[in-house]
Amino acid sequence: MAVSAAKAAPTSDSQPAPEAAPETGVSSASGALEFTKEEELHAHREMLLIRRFEEKAGQLYGMGLIGGFCHLYIGQEAVVIGMQMAVEPGDQVITGYRDHGHMLACEMDPKGVMAELTGRRGGYSKGKGGSMHMFSVEKQFYGGHGIVGAQVSLGTGLAFANRYKKNGKVSLVYFGDGASNQGQVYESFNMAKLWKLPVVYVIENNKYGMGTSVERASSNTNLSQRGASFDIPGEQVDGMDVRAVKAAGARAIAHAREGKGPYILEMVTYRYRGHSMSDPAKYRSKDEVQKMRETHDPIEQVRARLIKAGLATEDELKAVDKEVRDIVNAAAEFATNDPEPDPSELWTDILR
C-alpha cells in the first residue's frame, strides 16, 4: 500500500500486472499464491462461462435482440471470479453497469440474465430492468446500477445493515476507475471508516472511463490510495491473475469481517471490448488490446498452467468449453424465445 506504487500505476500501453505493486507482494505469482487443481479448474470454468456469455451477448446485440446499453466484461473475468472464491455464503455483491460477469459469478442463472438482456418476461427483472438493472435477493446480488458511483454509497449501506444486524457478512462493492472520482465515493469512504463497516471496495481499474484514460481523468492514478485520507488500507492487485485476486480478496474480506472496517483493492485489469457495444474504442490502439490479450489474458493464464502442470489435458479443457458453450447457447435460446412481458406488467412493481 505504499504510495510509491504510483510509479507502477498502469498506463495505457504498460502491462498491467507484474509491475503493478511489487511493494504489496501481491501481484507476483509466487508460490504462496498457487491454486490447488480444483481451484484452477473452478476458476477456469467460471471465467470461461463469463467470457462465452459475454461473447454471446455481443452477438445477440449485433442481431438486434439486445437493445440499449450493453457493457461487456470480457478481459476482466479474473476480478470477480477471484473475489467470489474468497467470500463466504451470504456476503453481498453490488456493482455498476458492467454487471453480467458479477451476476454469473454470484451463481445467478445465465438464462435469467440473458433473458433480461433481451427484455423478456423470464429475465431477472421480468424484462423491466435491462442490462444495467438486475438483482437477486436469493443470491445476495444487489445490482446492477446505472448511475456511476451510486453503488458505492448503496454498498456501504449494505455493510451498514450487516453491522446493524450483526450478521458477520461483508459487502463487496465494485466500481471502476471512472467512478473512483465521484464525490459520493469519498462521502461513503468516510462513513465506512468512521463506523468501521464491513465493506471491501473493489476498484476495477480497466484503464478507461469510457474513452478517457485514467491518466487523463485522475490526478493520482494509484487508485488503491484513494482511501488514504480516511486511513483505509489499500492494495494494487494484478487483476488479470485470478490467484492474486483471490489472495488479496481473502485478506481484505478477513480485515472487514474482523471488524477493522473497510479495505480497498485496486484491481489492475483491462477490458478488451469498447465501453459499450456502440463504442468503437478509437482512443486506444489495436496493438494495445492485442498485446494484452496475448500476454495477460486471465483465462489463458490458468489454461496454460493447467496444461503445463499436467493438471488437465487439452481434451478435458475442450470439454469444459463445450459444456460452457452449451449453457450459454441454452441461455441465448431461452432469451430469444421467451415472450416479452405481458403489457399489464407496465403497471406493476411501482409500489408494493
Partner 1 sequence: MPIEVLMPALSPTMEAGKLAKWLKKEGDAVKSGDVIAEIETDKATMEVEAVDEGVLGKILIADGSEDVKVNTPIALILADGEDESALKNGASTPAGDAQPKPDAAPAAGEPKTGGEAAAKRADEGAAKDASGGKQPTGDAKATGSAAANPPAPEVLPEPDVPEGTEMVMTTVRDALRDAMLEEMRADERVFLMGEEVAEYQGAYKVSQGLLEEFGAERVIDTPITEHGFAGVGVGAALAGLKPIVEFMTFNFAMQAIDQIINSAAKTLYMSGGQMGCSIVFRGANGAAARVGAQHSQDYAAWYSNVPGLTVLAPYTAADAKGLLKAAIRDNNTVIFLENEILYGQQFPVPKLDDYVVPIGKAKIARPGKDVTIVAWSIGMTYALKAAEELAKDGVDAEVIDLRTIRPMDTDTIIESVKKTGRLVTVEEGWAQSGVGAEISARVMERAFDWLDAPVTRVSGKDVPMPYAANLEKLALPSVAEVVEAAKAVCYRT
Interface residues with partner 1 (CB under 8 A)? 92, 94, 123-129, 133-137, 142-147, 150, 152-162, 164-165, 183-184, 186-188, 190-191, 194, 348-352
Least distance from partner 1 to the Cβ atom of residue 87, Å: 16
Q: Rank residues 134 and 312 by Cβ distance to partner 1 and give the closer one.
A: 134
Least distance from partner 1 to the Cβ atom of residue 344, Å: 13
Q: Rank residues 157 and 209 by Cβ distance to partner 1 and give the closer one.
A: 157
Least distance from partner 1 to the Cβ atom of residue 108, Å: 12
Closest CA to 198 of 244, 157, 229: 157
Q: Rank residues 128 and 257 by Cβ distance to partner 1 and give the closer one.
A: 128
**CA-CA distance, 27 to 45, in Å (whole number)?**
22
**CA-CA distance, 41 to 45, in Å (whole number)?**
6
Q: Rank residues 161 and 304 by Cβ distance to partner 1 and give the closer one.
A: 161
Q: Rank residues 323 and 349 by Cβ distance to partner 1 and give the closer one.
A: 349
DSSP for 191-223, please give it: HHHHTT--EEEEEEE-SEETTEEHHHH-SS--G
DSSP for 130-168, please give it: -TT---BTTTTB-----STTHHHHHHHHHHHHHHHHT--
**CA-CA distance, 88 to 195, in Å (whole number)?**
22
Least distance from partner 1 to the Cβ atom of residue 170, Å: 13
**Residue 265 and residue 10 in contact, taking contact as beta carbons nearer than 8 Å:** no
Residue type, 178: G
Q: Rank residues 58 and 146 by Cβ distance to partner 1 and give the closer one.
A: 146
Q: Rank residues 5 and 152 by Cβ distance to partner 1 and give the closer one.
A: 152
Q: Which three cell numbers stand for residue 234?
A: 489499500
Least distance from partner 1 to the Cβ atom of residue 193, Å: 11
**CA-CA distance, 72 to 273, in Å (whole number)?**
7
Least distance from partner 1 to the Cβ atom of residue 150, Å: 6
Least distance from partner 1 to the Cβ atom of residue 128, Å: 5
**CA-CA distance, 122 to 104, in Å (whole number)?**
16
**CA-CA distance, 80 to 50, in Å (whole number)?**
10
Q: Are strands 208-209 and 234-238 parallel, antiparallel or unpaired?
A: unpaired
Least distance from partner 1 to the Cβ atom of residue 73, Å: 20
Q: Rank residues 126 and 291 by Cβ distance to partner 1 and give the closer one.
A: 126
Contacts of 325 (CB under 8 A, 6+ apart): 52
